Structures are given as C-alpha cells and as structure tokens.
Amino acid sequence: MPPGLCRAKLSLTLHPEPPTMLKRTHTCGQPRLADAGKTIALNGWVNTYRDQGRGLLFVDIRDRDGLCQVVFNLEHASPELVQQAKALRREDVIGVRGILRLRSGEPNHKLATGEVELAAEELEIFNKAENPPILPDDHDAEKIGEETRLKYRYIDLRRPRMQHILRTRSKVTKLARDYFAANGFAEVETPLLIKSTPEGARDFIVPARLHQGMWYALPQSPQLFKQILMVAGFDRYIQICKCLRDEDPRADRQAEFSQIDLEMSFVEREDVMTMMGGFAHAVWHDILGYDIGRIEQMTWQEAMDRFGIDRPDLRNPLEIREITDIVAGSEFQVFQQAVEKTRAGRSGCVKAIRVPGGAEKLTRKMTDGYSEFVKQFKTGGVAVAKFTAAGFDTGVAKHLEPFKDALVARLALQPGDSVLIVADHWDTATKALGELRLKVGRDLGLVNESEWRFLWVIDFPMFDWDEDGQRWVAMHHPFTSPNPDQFHLLESEPGKCLSAGYDLVVNGSEIAGGSIRIHRMDVQEKVFKLIGLTKEDADAKFGFLLSALRHGAPPHGGIAFGLDRLLMHLVGTDNIRDVIAFPKTQSGGDLMIDAPGPIDEQQILDCGMKVTLLEKKS
C-alpha cells in the first residue's frame, strides 16, 4: 500500500509527495476542542461569510462532513490575507491553514465544531463561484422548487440532507454486499442489452446497428438471467442493479430504478423469506438502531378482505368487512345493483368500514369529500350512517335499520361509531375502500408514524382474469411457481391456483417481492399456454429458458428488494427523487443534462433507419 492509503478505513493524510496545493489535514466536521493549539488545514466550500468590518471576518467552510468556522483577524493574520478573504463569496472553493483554537466568543452549539475556530494564516482560492442560483442550505431547500433543484443538482447535492441520504444509500448497498457475501452469495453482472419480452411493462428499446431493423430491449429486471445462473450452478446469486420500465413515473416510482436482486437454489418459500427477513433486520438495526422483531405473515386473500389492498398498512387500525350477505335482501337500489353485478367470475359486493367514534369525528364535509374521493376509483360514492344507542341515524340509516342486529354483530358497532359503505364490483369496491381506509386513517390521525409494521404477504393468486383480452394474465410473472399443494389446480381451476410468491410490506409500502420459480419445463409450458402464449411464441421469446429447464434446473427462488423505496423509508421521505442522485421528472426528463434530446442524422443512418414522426391524433 502507498503511504497514507488505507485498505478499509478512511484516511485523509494523502501526502505521497510534497503538496503543491493547500491540502487538508481534517475534514470540516472533524476539529474538536482536543485539537486546539494544532496547526490544521481545511478544504471546502464557503457556506457563509460574516464581515464584521475593519479587520474581522468569519467564514464558515463546508465539506461533506460538516461546517467549521474560520476567522480572519488583522491581529493574527496579514492585512493582505484579510483583504483577500473579504472577497470570498458563497460557494467559492478554498483551502485554509492556521491554528485551531478555542473560540474567543460564545460557542455555537448548533455545530459539532462549535467550540473551536480556525484562525486563518494561509488561504488558497481554488475556484471562485458565480453567484449561485440556489444555496445548499437545508433550511432553504424545502422551499425551493424541485425544478430548480434538479437543474442545479450539483449544488442541491451539497446540502447536508442530500449528502446524508446518498451516504445512507451507500451504507445500505455495502451492508447488502457484506450480508449476502457472508451467506454464500456471489455477485454476478447480467447484461443491459437484451431482448424484448411480451409480458409485463413496456420496454425501453435500443436499435441494433449490427442487425439493422432489429432491436435490443433494456431489462425490466434480471429475472431470466438469474434463473439461468441457478441452472448454471451458482446456487446463490446477488446483484445490485438498474432496472428499466418505460411506464409513467409516480412520487414513489421512476422509470429507471435500482434493486437488490437475488436468487437461491434448493430452497422453498420460507428459506428465501428467512434470508431476506434477516437482511431487513440487519438494515433496520444498522441504519436506524431498530429491532423489527418477527415479521408477520398474511395471505393475499386476507389482506384484500380486511384491508382492501395487497400491501396493508398495519399501523392503521381500520378494517373492512363484507356485508353483502346481510344486506342482500335490501330494497336499496345501490345495494341491489351491486349484488347483481358480476365481473371476472366474481359477484358484486357490499363492504363497510367501521369508524370508531366517527359519529362525532367525521363531519358532513368530510364524508361528502369521501364520496368525491372514491370516484377516482370508478365507484359511485360512499354511503354513510351514524350508529347511536337508538340505532342507525342520518345518511342511509333507513336502509341499514332492517339489518341492524346482524350489522352490529358483523362490524362490532358501538354507539358513536360511523359506517362507510361502498357497493360495487368486487375489485372496484375493494380498491375504493382500501384507499378510503388509508385516507380516513390519515384524516383522523389514527396512524402512529413512529412505528414500523413489517408483513409478508403470501399465497397470491397465480392468475388474474383480463376482461379486455379475455385471458389469464400472470399476477406476478409467468415464471412464478404454484404453491406445492396447488399444482393440480393449474389445469382444473387456474383462477383458484395460489402461487409461491411473497411480498415484503412495511407500513403499507411494498419494499421487496419474489417467488419460488418454476423449475420444470412441463409446468412452465403449461403456464405459458394458460396465459395465451403459443408454443411458437414461447420458444421464440423464452426458448433459452425452456432449454435451460430441460438441462438440469434445480428448485430455486428469489426476491428483489427495491433499493429506492427502501431508502425512502430509512431517511423518511415520500419523494423517490430525494434518494436518487440524478433522478428524472414525471415526463422522463433529466433537467440537468436536458435529456432526452435529438441525435445526429448520421447516428440514425448508422442504424439503417430514418425517423418519421406520426401526427398527434387530436
């Protein structure tokens, strides 16, 4: 090792040769009272300057590590130095050397370095900065428009908050590599230029110059390659990789995102869940000092029935109950019509949420708002009633009164409660109430924000019936295996067949998902057939996988942890762009580099193409 460099520990004393620049001896957050009296040097950016007039000037110098006050004082430094320092402005990049000393004035308890200051004797200005469009202060940043922050990302990222987030991200990826390496996983890279697949999200595509008229696709995940690595005998694989899906972004979703991707051989569902649960434990322990305890499990059906969503937020105490059977005989048209509906083989239903104390807590304005709110999920509205000692009151009370005893028993109603009811197709009502449950929980402050509630959701259906395409579609992906006891349903009742998939949910957010895969070619072919993939299509698209399955595929399964979402939880943000160094906007643009952009005509010709834009239909 060259002197000054460490194999595994941070070192800042890099002096293999006599320095030609004013090089730091400490980072800006390091100096402490114990260092007082030493001559030290700092490198960094001018965070603020405070000119006190005549010969006294304070400069706060900032680097990745923190802030330190530098004082330029005529009594201790030359007039030339003080003059030079007076010209310093925000975000200039400098080096300063001098004696670290106890502050003459009051200590600043807001700074880790607040008891000391650097009495400057030498100053080197590495680079003057233009007047910055934004300042890298956390207290300003929350107010600054994101558009400006993204355009000047190199300034935004200087903020302590952003430095903290990206360093936390780095800690998590290091932790992942350490944890999985210790458990026998090998990191293997898989290709970025692959072939477009028919299932799943829209692919990003790349023209193939050497095969004119042909296209690569960028991977939505390394799914097939990691399965092939199992066939290839790697047994335990991990990769921290980029995945790309050409779909519209959201607050918690980017077209380009990262996942901690792994796959294991000779395992069953519980083995993968245990391995990944251990990683979640390690992350929450090491990053937040929190013990997540034993992770609960819940079937998909129970999650949908009780919470109306496949990733329930267990911090929210409200639950959904089906009351279709109770009100089936109702003359209330809304209930009647719902019960008569059918879609995807399911009858319509009537479902309710009991809101404890809702009679007082839910105002008319709020419940009116809830009816508006659920319309975005394509249902008509919310039926509301209060429950008192005398029975149902207001709203749809008269339609509920005939079924009072049964409803009280089913919903465990107490006087003073309210009931919120949605009647519609099963999927519509479930979705609407699932979302409404979350909204009411937030509105009434029922969610303890400081809590972490982890949950494995298991026993997903293998297939969803696609009404438009009139066919089965894989709920997870078409390489997911049925549960071992479900194989017989694959042919007889595919709609009832449960898969060996599993999702890890924390506080209502899916942070990891995976499954045991199909390792037998005959089963894989059966699934392809069920989702309407002809043998020819399957061979053309996935022939290599079918071939691999014929040549000795071990039982295997895996999971992928969404790195971006994981970070969102760890640092407490609801904006995925905050945890990505260079994120894209909702229209897929990068405001800093101004992408996407045009390319030279020659580049297009090289691919044997010409571009004709279709007119927008109006």
Partner RNA sequence: GGGGUGGUAGCUCAAUUGGUUAGAGUUCCGGCUUGUCACGCCGGUGGUUGCGGGUUCGAGUCCCGUCCGCCUCGCCA
Span 64-103, contacts to RNA by CB under 7 A = 69, 71, 73-75, 89-90, 103
Nearer to RNA, 51 or 270 (CB): 51
For residue 471, state whether it binds RNA (rule: CB under 7 A): no
**In this chain, which of 33, 56, 125, 287 binds RNA, going by CB under 7 A?**
56
Q: Closest CB to RNA among 169 and 311? A: 311
**Radius of gyration of the chain measured on its C-alpha atoms:** 31
Structural contact between residues 206 and 218, judged by C-beta atoms closer than 8 angstroms: yes
Amino acid at 124: E
Residues whose CB is less than 8 angstroms from the CB of residue 428 and which lie 6 or more positions away in sequence, other chains included? 377, 378, 379
Applying CB under 7 A, among 35, 121, 146, 235 the residue interacting with RNA is 146
250 binds RNA, rule: CB under 7 A? yes
Would you tell me the crossing angle of helices 563-571 and 269-288 to the nearest 10 degrees? 40
- Judged by beta carbon, residue 196 or residue 388, the one nearer RNA is 196
Please report, as residue ranges, which positions from 17 to 46 form the binding site for RNA (by CB under 7 A). Answer: none
Binding residue (CB under 7 A) for RNA from 36, 55, 204, 487: 55
Shortest Cβ 491–RNA spacing (Å): 20
Q: Which is nearer to RNA, 55 or 160 (CB)?
A: 55
The kind and range of the H/E element at 280 are: helix 269-288
User: Which residue number, 386 or 476, has a Cβ lying nearer to RNA?
Assistant: 476
CA distance 89 to 51: 11
Using CB under 7 A, which of 376, 450, 470, 492 touches RNA? 376
**Lookup: tokens for 203:** 């692919």
Cβ-based nearer residue to RNA, 113 or 330: 113
What amino acid is encoded at 385 in this protein? A
The 8-class DSSP code of residue 499 comes to: B
Q: What angle do CA 322, 327, 333 make, to 5 degrees?
A: 115
Sign for the pseudo-dihedral over CA of 230, 233, 238, 244: negative
Residue number, 200 or 416, with CB nearest to RNA: 200
Output the six-digit token pair for 20.
């030609």
The helix/strand/coil state of 476 is coil
The least distance separating RNA from the CB of residue 103, rounded to whole angstroms, comes to: 4
Nearer to RNA, 95 or 249 (CB): 249
The residues near 372 (Cβ < 8 Å, ≥ 6 apart) are none
Distances (CA, A) of 149 to 155, 248, 439: 8, 21, 30
Asked if 565 interacts with RNA (CB under 7 A), we say no
- Residue from 7, 9, 54, 610 binding RNA (CB under 7 A): 54
Q: Which stretch binds RNA (CB under 7 A): 47-55, 171-179, 330-338, 383-391?
A: 47-55
Joined together, the tokens standing for residue 86 give 């007076």
The smaller minimum CB distance to RNA, of residues 92 and 417, is found at 92
HEC secondary structure over 578-604: HHCCCCCCCCCCECCCCECCCCCHHHH
Among 122, 124, 235, 247, binds RNA (CB under 7 A): 247
Beta bridge partners of 253: 250
* Interface with RNA in residues 283-322 (CB under 7 A): none
CB of 512 to RNA, least distance (A): 13
For RNA, the binding residues in 111-140 under the rule CB under 7 A are: 111, 114, 117, 131-135, 137, 139-140
325: contact with RNA by CB under 7 A: no
When binding is defined by CB under 7 A, the residue of 170, 333, 342, 575 that contacts RNA is: 575
* Contacts of RNA in 219-238 (CB under 7 A): 220-221, 223
| Minimal distance, residue 336 CB to RNA, in Å | 25
CA distance 204 to 195: 10
Contact between 425 and 432 (Cβ < 8 Å):
no
The token duo for 579 is 């945890």
User: Does residue 476 belong to the site contacting RNA (CB under 7 A)?
Assistant: yes
Q: Compute the distance between CA of residue 340 and CA of residue 138 in angstroms, rounded to an integer.
A: 56
Which residues within the stretch 154-213 sit at the binding site for RNA (CB under 7 A)? Answer: 199-202
Q: How far is the CB of 131 from RNA (least distance, A)?
A: 4
The smaller minimum CB distance to RNA, of residues 226 and 236, is found at 226
| Count of residues of this chain found to bind RNA when the rule CB under 7 A is applied | 76
Q: Is 325 helix (H, G, I), strand (E, B) or coil?
A: helix
Q: Does 586 bind RNA (CB under 7 A)?
A: yes
